[in-house]
Amino acid sequence: MKEDPYRSIARWYDKLFESINKGLRLLGLRLFLPKEGMAVLDVGCGTGLHLELYRKYRCSLYGIDPSPSMLEIASKRLGDSAKLHCGDASEMPYEDRSFDLVIAMLALHEMNPTTRASVIREMKRVIKQSGRMLLIDFHPGPIRPLQGWITKLIITLSEIAAGREHFKNYRHFMSIKGLPTLITEHGLVIEKQRIVSGGALAAFLLRAE
């Protein structure tokens, strides 16, 4: 069984990163307002905080994540209100065109290039024809002073601390100019976008061509 890189940090993750992540989740929520009964999939759902936000709108909740430690926390948080799956998002166990909204927040930069491409293809596969994809991740800039510099420094230090493989994948993600390049490569169309934190973070609401 593959080692869980979040095993030692899972119980501390939200305390360390919630102050930044909460604002990003709310930003994504405003880009695509949820409706009751809407089917929402969170790719890389982690501790379930993002899905918890959509639970308030009585959406049907689904989450997939490769970390048993993170999913254990998500399961305690969400109970029976979400269907959580521990596994690889490059081979998702969902039928074609199942979801109204598929989210990947701060997840794609962690993946190696091959896995990243497979995950985006899978996300496209499971979105309904009328559905949307919400991608939130680090942005290549331009980085503006002073907020952008500070945010970029925090991001870089966090990625270094996450380990060699993680940092390698992050560096590749940034070298290809992040989400804008992936959006073009995978034939996705930008409906809305927000660049925040001095150019260091971005959210894109997308549809498939």
Two structure tokens written together for 37: 């009964």
CATH code that applies to domain 10-208: 3.40.50.150
pLDDT in tens, 20-49: 789 999 999 999 999 999 999 999 999 999
Specify the pairing of strand 201-208 against strand 188-196.
antiparallel
Q: What is the pLDDT of residue 172?
A: 98
Nearest one of 16, 23, 19, 85 to 48, comparing CA atoms: 85
Task: Give the full edge-to-edge strand order of the sheet including 39-43.
Answer: 82-86, 60-65, 39-43, 99-105, 127-138, 201-208, 188-196
Average pLDDT, the chain: 94
Two structure tokens written together for 54: 């959509």
- The Cα–Cα gap between 116 and 182 comes to 9
